[in-house]
Amino acid sequence: MAFPQQKMKPKSKSFNRPFSKIVNKKFIYTVISVFLFYLFFLRSNNDNSDSSNYNYSFSPNNPYQHLPKEHGIYNDQILTSDPLIYPSVQYAPFLRELTLSKLFQSKTDENGNLHYVYDQDLDESERLFSDDDTANGNNDNDNNDNDLNDLNYDENLNGLALNKKSKSDKNNNHDDYHDDLNIDQPYDDNEDDEIHFKKAKKSFKNHGKIVFDARNNKSPDLVIVTSLDFEKFELTHLTKVITNRIDYCKANNFGFYSRWVQEFIPILQKHNSNKSWVKLMIMREAFHAFPNSKYFWYLDQDSIIMRYDLNLINYLLAPSILNPIILKDQPIIPPSGAIHTYKNIKPQDIRFLITQNENSIDSTSFILINDIYGKAILEFWQDDLFRKYTNFQIIENALTHILQWHPVLLSKTALLPPRTIASLHSVMDLPKGGDHLHYYPGDLVVNLKDCEARKSCESEFESYYQQIDKN
């Protein structure tokens, strides 16, 4: 006897699988949507977090209200026509001696914890040092005087931020920073230490305000970004790092942007975050300082550029060159992760380039392109939610998560083989021609990853520095 139901059975079974898949997918989408809405409300109701800078209620009349503030971590800015922006490294020993507790004022938060704060976040009455100490300083013959008194206040277009602009670039003695790089004569012997400490502090508090005057000067196509740590390295080493970048930039008409890691400590303290997040914060500051530049190349202070004759744009970034080099259909977690990079990615769609070594993505050297996707990747990666999460104290883990869960961002990302922009230093001899991972003479960059553990950053750097082909 053939009951209709029984006849139907095999048919319904064959539908069973795809149907349950659809249900599962629908279920997953619903869970994700509910979760996102939850985050959305959590964030927009929490006035104490960074999210207070954002306004999520959309108004077509003012779409820009959704964007973060239009300035860097400081409210003030100082314009320069010089595309090489870096801190006065000769003050590094003084800064280290001053320690953070003298460079920042502290404030007790609602939980009773002491936090470093930026001067601009203190009320007038709370400030221990006057503006003379930090910005003006006419009383100590300081030639790094940046004339903050002469700055004009100018309401910016979105009304989000109050930007200061200097009347003319000539008022601003940014060039003095460069003369300062002469380490044989780091300071005038006639001056006593107190003045050096004062100048060091002033330079520390003002360096981050300098931005490139992109309105009146041609912007460099590419900007190299490096964070510098005065607690980790000696003056001679810091000077070599900066000189290396500057020589390369001068040979190729690129810009350079560098900041002290320590400037960002008040932000890191908020979630007790790993110092390595600072590189993303400095990248954001670089985007702000060079609004019209296209490429931003972040390169750790533990890396050395070995080939001044290789122009990164012509050598790697031109789409026809990039196309055969990028790793397509490559597991994001090597060697066998489930999520792969896109097979059919077009080089002109790429906004983010980063290398991958044998174990993971490697954030010591990466390139971002200045448009809404490049900025989105940068903002996403350093979002408060990621920085709070303890498993993401290794910032590569946060990035791996983003690339595996956000196809839009993955579709703008290319993984590169390490020897393009992050060849690793090898402690062992290499076969002739090298391998796929380690530095071999002729490569653009050598990366001294983990040199701190080997306690040999400075000696390794010096030995490569001697080998640079400066032509």
What are the residues binding ligand NAG (CB under 6 A)? 55, 57, 59, 62, 65, 274, 276, 393-394
Burial class (CB in 10 A: 0-12, 13-18, 19+), 100: middle
56 SS3 class: coil
Task: Supply the angle between the helices 235-252 and 457-467 in degrees, to the nearest 10.
Answer: 30
Work out how close the CB of 277 gets to ligand NAG at its nearest, in angstroms, rounded to a whole number: 9
Work out how close the CB of 271 gets to ligand NAG at its nearest, in angstroms, rounded to a whole number: 12
Pairing of strands 361-369, 295-299: antiparallel
Work out how close the CB of 158 gets to ligand NAG at its nearest, in angstroms, rounded to a whole number: 12
Please, which residue, 281 or 369, has the CB nearer to ligand NAG? Answer: 281
Alpha-carbon distance of 138 to 310, in angstroms, equals 44
212 SS3 class: strand
Please, which residue, 269 or 293, has the CB nearer to ligand NAG? Answer: 269
Work out how close the CB of 390 gets to ligand NAG at its nearest, in angstroms, rounded to a whole number: 8
Please, which residue, 222 or 299, has the CB nearer to ligand NAG? Answer: 299
Contacts of 400 (CB under 8 A, 6+ apart): 332, 333, 360, 361
Structure-token pair, residue 431: 């076969």
Query: Which residue is it, tokens 């012997």?
Result: 189
Please, which residue, 16 or 62, has the CB nearer to ligand NAG? Answer: 62
Work out how close the CB of 57 gets to ligand NAG at its nearest, in angstroms, rounded to a whole number: 5
Work out how close the CB of 342 gets to ligand NAG at its nearest, in angstroms, rounded to a whole number: 27
Please, which residue, 49 or 393, has the CB nearer to ligand NAG? Answer: 393
Please, which residue, 53 or 253, has the CB nearer to ligand NAG? Answer: 53
Q: Hey, how many other C-beta atoms are within 10 angstroms of the C-beta on 173? A: 16
Please, which residue, 59 or 348, has the CB nearer to ligand NAG? Answer: 59
Cis ω on the peptide bond leading into residue 334 (within 30° of 0)? no
| AA identity, residue 126 | E
Closest CA to 330 of 340, 338, 320, 321: 340
Work out how close the CB of 240 gets to ligand NAG at its nearest, in angstroms, rounded to a whole number: 22
Burial class (CB in 10 A: 0-12, 13-18, 19+), 69: middle
